[in-house]
Chain A
Amino acid sequence: MKYLLYLSFILFSFGSFTQVRGIVYGSDTLQKSKIFGARIVLLQNDIKLITDEEGKFEFNLPKNLPDTMVIKAMGYYPDTLFLGKEDRFSNFQIVLYSVQLIPEIVVSYKKGTKSISKLKSLLVEEISSDELKKAACCNLSESFETNASVDVSISDAVSGAKQIQMMGLAGVYTQIQMENIPYLRGLESAFGLNSIPGTWVNSIQITKGTGTVVNGYESMAGLINIEIKKPDEMEGLFVNGYGNIFGRGELNLHSGMHLGKSKKWSTGIFAHGSTLQAKLDQNNDGFKDIPTGYNAAFMNRWSYHGNRFETQFGINTYIDEKVGGQLNFSRSLPITTQSAYGVLNKTKHIDVFAKTGFLFKGKPFRSIGILYNVKYQETDAIFGLRNFKGIEKRAYINAIYDDIIGSTLHKTRMGISAVYADFSQNQDSISDDRLEIVPGVFGEYTYTGIRLVNVIGARLDYHNLYGAIFSPRLHTKYTLSEKTDLRFTAGRGWRVPNYMIDNLSLLATGRTWVAPAEIKPEISWNIGGSIVQEFKFLKQKASIVLDYYYTFFENQLVVDRDVSKSTIVFTNLADKSYSHSFQAELAFALSKTIDVRAAYKYLDVKAIYNSLLQAKVMVPTHRGFLNLGYHSRNKRWSVDATGSLFGKSRLPLTLLSNGLSTTQNESFVFPMISGQITHVYKKWEFYIGGENLGNYTQNNPILDAANPFSTTFDATRVWAPVMGTMIYGGFRYSIPHKELKKEVGNL
């Protein structure tokens, strides 16, 4: 009897081991939910079943293998999966896409305010609008304060410009896109982050390493895609007012609505204004700690969703005027009549964009998408007696054709793109005028297996000045288990440097600029991988992400401050220049109401400076990060606190006014602490917070501030905040969109 029990137990377990199980989800752009009653059919073995209330299904692996599994549900495109002998242990996570979507839209689902999208083959970090509210960011340059992957730093103490860094590499090596259209390129790479107000943003996707070839050739360290609020989903009316103790005031307004009876058309209007008029000099060096001035932005966008055709188009404009430098500098008087050192910054742009998508009848996986963009940009900057003037006219087009080969196992994307850019740049007496015409062709093949997703792509671009450049890319995702994802990425990227605008902040010094003899494209390779592991901690969902990327340059336009103490040399380096970046991030919840996120980042960025392999200046080797969030169960109160610890970094050896060199050539370890409290009451939100709560500032960020026109004046040796504690407050008022896109079945 005992043996019979054992035998039946063994047989039973054997039986359960050959069970195939899974969950079927349905997705539209807003959310993902389990499908009850989805039908699953095995074609060869004639097995039919339906999913239960939890979307789950299970069946015994049949004898006749391999087979094809078809999953169908009303309102969604069906999906087909390969079922083989190796699926004895398989646990499928199947997502069906709503018939409302065109297949090229990338799917991501919300799993908390910041999530790693498991469905994508690339490691993409998603920052949702809820995460953006954690630190009342005003514009994009302030949106990455609660993120460990992207660093934001001030490059000089006088212009107020903020730049991002990924993997220790300058922001210009990260391609920034607005809804898949390259944005903030060329002249706007210096101060452009200020031009997108935070309240306009719906979500941000951050990809480390080279992105897909479909988006272009310029993602070398990473890709940041910014999704702006869409007219058919955004609030009916949104108003935000902000003020801080430094005298900065901001107002943001946007409104979206559907038009007409058919509800196929919708439009959104966005407006933003910001001003700072108070002159502050907390460190008493005679210079404004933060420039005064104003900026304003406006956008109008339209959206049309038809049965076989979709389009989005819009226009946006931006203007920014800032006055910095010494307190007694007057903007209204000509520069030549003043003895004070002044910094003037004037940027404006006008940008028109459009996207059109075409679907094919009866073929849900085939589509054509075309992106268009036309932009005019002007940037004028004055740093004392040094100046820069730039005008850029740009046009961009990208046509993408999506299709499948046989089944959704094999997806292809191919297309052509073209960039037209007319630059006119003048820095003091040096000119860098350039006309760029870069047509390109690209192709990408995606294999989606049960555990393995492989994306192989390549693009060939022909630059009118530099010839043909080939960029292959590979991205692989392997699902080790239901809770573990492994990813690997390798690729080549390149860009043509604009050394003047890329380093505009370096005009805030008395050092002479030595221009490069010739300008060559910067080319780099990036190889890396990551592990995403989900687990349960204290009965709540937790995850850990470990990633490592190695970037090396075939050619780079290096900014060398080590050749001599009185020059900044720009030179083409075809020698060693690399970055090792390692990051570990842990996310867990202490309770239903408290979330914790902790991260550590290690950066080793070196290049040949003054003929020696040295660390790049002002890139800290170690960085620690901790974020705590409390959200009350009735959703009325939120408290967020973020702390970052920045390790030491190398500082360039600089000549002081007394003829001696700087003795402190390594920065100190310092903390950056910020916090915010938000209260929600029906349609209103009130928030109050502070930044740099530790009140840590760099002593004497401006060298030789008393003689700004001397050769020993240097405002570029900045590695810590210039301003102390800042307290801010604001409100938000919003009315939800009347006809949310949840009217499934009504179109």
Chain B
Amino acid sequence: MKNLVVLVFALFTLTAFGQKKVEEVIIQTTAECNECKERIENKLNYTKGVKFADLDVLSKKLTVKFKTKNITLQEIKTIVSELGYDADDTKANQEAYKSLPECCKVAGMEHTEGK
């Protein structure tokens, strides 16, 4: 019995160590301009569990560091999608995408009517 308890305890601590407390990921988004950067960062930086969110406008890559205990990667991707942007394989929420300003829509920085 004592051995079983020790074994269970050991397994438990092993799994606890195996799971990382803080993760840092890079998510590919469809953010086009500085305004998109501000929207995504401002939303995530004040979300519980997120340590920081930093979007590089040129590559559209979003770096997020978060506490796995408070939030999951999928939840973060959902937040990005609900703002109107793709997050890796999670597609943008269509309603949110439609309400974005012109420059934030896909290829918004080039495809404009020249005068």
Contact = CB atoms under 8 A, between A and B. Distances in A.
Q: Do A and B interact with each other, yes or no?
A: yes
Interface of A: 26, 30-31, 33-38, 54, 73-76, 99, 307, 632-636, 681-682, 740, 742-746
Given A74-B110, A632-B52, A744-B103, 11 more contacts: A36-B110, A37-B107, A38-B110, A74-B111, A74-B113, A75-B109, A740-B101, A742-B33, A742-B103, A744-B109, A745-B113
Given A633-B52, A740-B101, A745-B102, A33 B115 contact: no
15 contacts: A26-B110, A30-B34, A33-B57, A38-B110, A73-B110, A74-B111, A74-B112, A75-B113, A75-B114, A99-B114, A633-B65, A742-B104, A744-B109, A744-B112, A745-B112
Given A307-B115, A633-B52, A742 B110 contact: no
Interface in B39-64: 41-42, 45-46, 50-54, 57-58
Given A34-B58, A740-B101, A682 B107 contact: no
Contacts of B104: 742
Given A31-B34, A742-B33, A745-B102, A634 B53 contact: yes
B57 A74 contact: no
B45 A636 contact: yes
Nearest to A37: B110
A634 B55 CA distance: 11
B33 A33 contact: yes
Interface residues of B, number: 28
Contact of A634 (B35, B52, B101, B112): B52
B108 A635 contact: no
Interface in B68-84: none
A75 B53 contact: no
Contact of A682 (B33, B35, B46, B101): B46
A681 B42 CA distance: 10
A636 B47 CA distance: 12
Given A636-B45, A682-B46, A35 B52 contact: no
A75 B103 contact: no
A634 B54 CA distance: 7
Contacts, number: 72
A227 B52 CA distance: 32
A681 B45 CA distance: 10
Given A742-B102, A744-B108, A745-B102, A634 B51 contact: yes
B26 to A, nearest CB: 13
Contact of B45 (A35, A36, A635, A740): A635
A75 B52 contact: no
Contacts of A74: 110-114
A38 B104 CA distance: 19
Nearest to B46: A682
A480 B113 CA distance: 37
B36 to A, nearest CB: 10
Nearest to B101: A742
Given A634-B51, A682-B46, A75 B102 contact: no
A122 B21 CA distance: 51
B46 to A, nearest CB: 6
Nearest to B36: A742
B109 A33 contact: yes
Contacts of A740: 35, 101
The list of the 10 closest CB pairs from A to B, nearest first, reads A75-B112, A634-B52, A633-B52, A745-B112, A742-B103, A634-B45, A744-B112, A99-B115, A31-B34, A745-B113
Nearest to B58: A34
B114 to A, nearest CB: 5
Most chain B CB atoms below 10 A, which of A37, A99, A633: A633
Given A633-B51, A634-B52, A634-B53, A36 B114 contact: no
A538 to B, nearest CB: 18
A309 to B, nearest CB: 14
Contacts of B42: 682
A744 B107 CA distance: 12
Nearest to B103: A742
Contacts of B53: 634
A635 B115 CA distance: 38
Given A73-B110, A635-B45, A742 B35 contact: yes
A245 to B, nearest CB: 32
A73 B114 CA distance: 9
Nearest to A745: B112
Contacts of A682: 42, 46
B113 to A, nearest CB: 5
A633 B55 CA distance: 11
A744 B52 contact: no
Most chain A CB atoms below 10 A, which of B42, B57, B108, B114: B114
Contacts of B45: 634-636
Contacts of B65: 633
B19 to A, nearest CB: 23
Contacts of A681: 46
Nearest to B35: A742
A746 B111 contact: no
A420 to B, nearest CB: 38
A391 B75 CA distance: 66
Contacts of A75: 109-114
Contacts of B35: 740, 742
